Amino acid sequence: TAMRLLVIGGGFGGASAASFARRTYPEVQVTLVEPQPRFVTCPYGNLLLGGERQIGQITHSYDGLRARGVEVIHDRAAGIDAPTKRVRLAGGAVLAYDRLILSPGIAIRWGAIEGYDEAAAQQMPHAWIPADGSQTLLLRRQLEAMPDGGVVGFAIPGNPFRCPPGPYERISMVAHYLKRHKPRSKILALDAKEGFSKQGLFQDGWRALYGDMIEWVPGNRDGRVVKVDVAERVLETEFGTRHKVDVANVIPPQSAASIAAASGLVNDTGWVPVNTRTFEARAAAGVHVIGDANIPGPMPKSGYVANTTAKQAVAAAVALHRGQTPPEPVYFNTCYSHVGENYGISVVGIFRPNADGTAIAEVPNSGGVSPRGDLPEQRRLEAIHADSWYDSITRSMFG
């Protein structure tokens, strides 16, 4: 009988896995479980905040996967029983599988910042898990409603978190919007870290495009936000400084999505340790965990990595089911960021796991970041490459 591949989560990892499985192994029966009727991408959500995209342009249907022969079930996985190879859905159904791909994404660590709970997120959006897009749209509406001369505050977490350059692209895109519509406004970026991805490139771009609009405060200068006061619209840092802002985007500390913890897959970091060649969870045979939920060694938590590792996880799952050796993997990442109009930058990494699947290392002398300097044509081309990347990865997921 046909191998049954069950995929939980229809985002960057899960949709990529389902599509790749159908394209590559037509004999495999693929079922995808995802609660949302449509998928809103985090990537390019920052451009929506900047006024450069509409929500419809970053929303994707599952019809393409259905047309490829994937059975798509809109429900939520409530429990995984790895020994009997069964998944229980919130709606009551029980699905049996031969191999499971789990890509449920992240959860917010509510309460890790004092006062930041689900109710607070309705006033100070995180917009870091798009779900139905409502968080990103809320933040956009708050920016639109803010008077010129207001302060937009950001709280940015320590590592690891979803999309290392994401907060800084968001700062850029908010600055892009403010410069056009509310040029007397300021951005106060409070960061738990002392440095960040593509920092030199971002800060060059900020100075060139936005002058002194953006103030970034690192962790060693009291940038770590530990408390929010929603009623007063205050972000409070480690040493008790209270920053009053007009709009607050709180990007809180994160962990693997709740289904991973509920199924006993996470360790004390809150993320899922995996075999780096097959992505099988250390804690459960036959359960391959990809995307942001796992611990990917030095690889960033990115949609690109979720897509590239999805392919290896599917190939490994099929090989192991057939009693074969999984293929030799290599993992790629490119993270593009838009700093302004016609202004893109990137970081590239190439990674390989070690022989026994216990670690991943960046391939020496590979990858790197865009060159620094006054290079308008380079920036213009990279903005175009970024748009092409978005089109091709979403086609690889949903097409």
Closest approach of ligand FAD to the CB of residue 54, in Å: 16
CA distance 33 to 19: 13
Closest approach of ligand FAD to the CB of residue 242, in Å: 27
Residue 258 vs 275, nearer CB to ligand FAD: 258
> If binding is defined by CB under 6 A, does position 45 make contact with ligand FAD?
yes
Residues 74-103 that bind ligand FAD (CB under 6 A): 76-77, 103
Residue 291 vs 326, nearer CB to ligand FAD: 291
CA distance 294 to 207: 36
CA distance 37 to 131: 10
> If binding is defined by CB under 6 A, does position 36 make contact with ligand FAD?
yes
Residue 295 parent element (H or E): none
- Contact at 8 Å (CB) between 41 and 16? no
Q: Which residues lie across from 107 on neighbouring strands? A: 255
Using the rule CB under 6 A, give the single segment among 36-44, 51-59, 152-160, 373-381 that binds ligand FAD.
36-44
The residue sitting closest to ligand FAD, measured at its beta carbon, is: 11
Closest approach of ligand FAD to the CB of residue 324, in Å: 26
Three-state secondary structure call for residue 52:
coil
Helix ranges, the chain (H) = 12-24, 45-49, 63-67, 134-145, 166-181, 199-210, 258-262, 303-321, 376-398
Residue 44 vs 206, nearer CB to ligand FAD: 44
Among 50, 105, 133, 150, binds ligand FAD (CB under 6 A): 105
> If binding is defined by CB under 6 A, does position 166 make contact with ligand FAD?
yes
Using the rule CB under 6 A, give the single segment among 279-287, 295-303, 318-326, 363-371 that binds ligand FAD.
295-303
Sequence-distant (6+) residues with CB within 8 A of 97 are: 4, 5, 6, 31, 85, 86, 87, 286
CA distance 84 to 62: 29
> If binding is defined by CB under 6 A, does position 382 make contact with ligand FAD?
no
For the chain, how big is the Rg over CA atoms in Å? Answer: 21
Three-state secondary structure call for residue 169:
helix
What mask, x for binding ligand FAD by CB under 6 A, covers residues 107 to 136? ---------------------x--------
The residue behind tokens 């192994």 is: 25
Q: What are the φ/ψ torsions at residue 70 (nearest 5 degrees)?
A: -80, 135
Using the rule CB under 6 A, give the single segment among 4-12, 197-205, 319-327, 344-352 that binds ligand FAD.
4-12
Among 156, 292, 346, 370, binds ligand FAD (CB under 6 A): 292
Exposed / middle / buried, residue 123 (Cβ in 10 Å: 0-12, 13-18, 19+)? middle
Closest CA to 8 of 24, 26, 27, 31: 31
Using the rule CB under 6 A, give the single segment among 183-191, 290-298, 315-323, 347-355 that binds ligand FAD.
290-298
Residue 170 vs 311, nearer CB to ligand FAD: 170
Q: Which residues lie across from 386 on neighbouring strands? A: none
β-strand pairing of 151-156 with 247-250: parallel
What mask, x for binding ligand FAD by CB under 6 A, covers residues 324 to 353? -----------xx-----------------
Among 5, 28, 42, 124, binds ligand FAD (CB under 6 A): 42
Residues in contact with ligand FAD by CB under 6 A are 8-14, 33-36, 39, 42-43, 45-46, 76-77, 103-105, 128, 162-163, 166, 170, 257, 259, 291-293, 301-304, 306, 335-336
